């Protein structure tokens, strides 16, 4: 079905796998369930207060931070607005704080669209789409960003899923480098990093990693979740005492836009009419015996 509407919620179902979306709240994934048991931190769509309480949201046209809400691009200075409480930086792009249109709907998939015009949050025009598809035991989540401006613009994207921190939760993945941050939460230096294979309870991370293998496992006594994505960078955030943690596939290093060579850190120079695309997939597998 091809439609164009602003819908308060969209429900998808494929066998035991169920998802609910909130297009009006940042195009966020409200919840993801397997036989009515949450796979991610999940809230029924009608009860969701905002994207920061959701199962996840898309980050675009950049992920993580723009340091102190300013950057230079093609010899021109730009400013953005703080958008995360009392944090001095802009976080996670603009898509997660805008209402999206539903432009396609099917029992097992939905497509959302956002059209952005230059404003105080982002100085370039773009059109973005999100496509959510249930595939039996997996969710595939595609993001596309097209430059509709007359100027070249910097571009990036990512996904911000919230995993449940259950007893025995464990994270396994392979990376090459870890970016250490300063007191301002901005990256300062890269250090070598090999495999991550640890109980989440023993991790104290709020880091971006590069050289990511493109897959990660999140496991506990109830489920094994296999995360794969098209990106080479990964952010891991394990807040102390929280019932959730984040494993976020992203296209670029945090604050890449202020790096001496932003493109070397994964940011893309997107010409007018060009498109940046990415995908992530989350598969549910039964726990090992």
Tally of domains within the chain: 1
Sign of the C-alpha dihedral, residues 210, 97, 183, 69?
positive
Residue 76, CA distances (Å) to 23, 49, 62, 79 in order: 34, 37, 18, 10
pLDDT > 60? residue 93: yes
pLDDT > 60? residue 6: no
Give pLDDT tens digits for 16-60: 999 999 999 999 999 999 999 999 999 999 999 999 999 999 999
Name the residue among 245, 225, 196 with its Cα closest to residue 39.
Answer: 225
pLDDT score of 288? 81
Residue range 143-151: average pLDDT? 99
pLDDT > 80? residue 149: yes
Residue whose tokens read 């595609």:
142
Residue range 193-218: average pLDDT? 97
Residue range 179-195: average pLDDT? 95
Token code pair at residue 256: 């890449």
pLDDT score of 7? 63
Lowest mean pLDDT among 6-15, 168-177, 196-205, 217-226: 6-15
Give pLDDT tens digits for 241-257: 999 999 999 999 999 99
CATH number at residue 240: 2.70.98.10
Residue 14, CA distances (Å) to 9, 28, 129, 179, 224 in order: 17, 19, 22, 39, 19
Distance CA 37, CA 70 (A): 42
Residue whose tokens read 């007359």:
150
Name the residue among 139, 156, 135, 124 with its Cα closest to residue 58.
Answer: 156
pLDDT > 70? residue 123: yes
- Domain region containing 206: 2-285
CB atoms within 10 A of CB 157: 26
pLDDT > 80? residue 237: yes
Contact 93, 26 (CB under 8 A): no
Report percent pLDDT > 90 for the chain. Answer: 94
**For residue 23, what is the enclosing H or E element?**
none
Q: Would you place residue 3 in the very low, low, confident or very high pLDDT band (cuts 50, 70, 90)? A: very low
Dihedrals phi, psi of 253, to nearest 5 degrees: -65, 150
The predicted model scores a pTM of 0.95
């Amino acid at each position: 079905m091809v439609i164009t509407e602003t819908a308060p919620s969209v429900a998808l179902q494929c066998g035991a796998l169920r998802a609910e979306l909130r297009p009006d709240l940042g195009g966020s994934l409200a919840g993801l369930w397997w036989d009515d048991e949450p796979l991610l931190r999940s809230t029924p769509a009608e009860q969701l207060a905002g994207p920061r309480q959701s199962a996840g949201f898309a980050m675009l046209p950049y992920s993580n931070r723009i340091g102190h809400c300013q950057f230079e691009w093609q010899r021109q200075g730009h400013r953005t607005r703080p958008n995360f409480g009392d944090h001095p930086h802009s976080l996670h792009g603009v898509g997660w704080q805008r209402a999206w249109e539903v432009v396609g709907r099917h029992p097992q998939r939905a497509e959302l669209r956002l059209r952005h015009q230059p404003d105080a949050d982002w100085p370039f025009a773009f059109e973005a789409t999100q496509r959510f598809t249930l595939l039996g035991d997996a969710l595939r989540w595609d993001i596309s960003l097209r430059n509709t401006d007359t100027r070249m613009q910097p571009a990036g994207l990512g996904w911000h899923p919230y995993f449940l921190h259950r007893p025995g939760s464990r994270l396994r993945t392979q990376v090459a480098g870890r970016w250490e941050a300063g007191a301002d939460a901005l990256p300062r230096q890269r250090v070598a990093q090999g495999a991550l294979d640890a109980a989440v309870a023993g991790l104290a991370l709020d880091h971006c990693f590069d050289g990511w293998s493109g897959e990660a496992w999140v496991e506990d006594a109830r489920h094994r979740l296999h995360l794969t994505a098209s990106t080479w960078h990964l952010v891991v955030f394990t807040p102390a005492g929280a019932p959730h943690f984040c494993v976020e596939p992203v296209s670029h290093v945090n604050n890449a836009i202020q790096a001496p060579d932003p493109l070397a850190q994964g940011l893309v120079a997107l010409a007018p009419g060009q498109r940046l695309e990415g995908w992530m997939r989350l598969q549910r597998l039964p726990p090992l015996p």
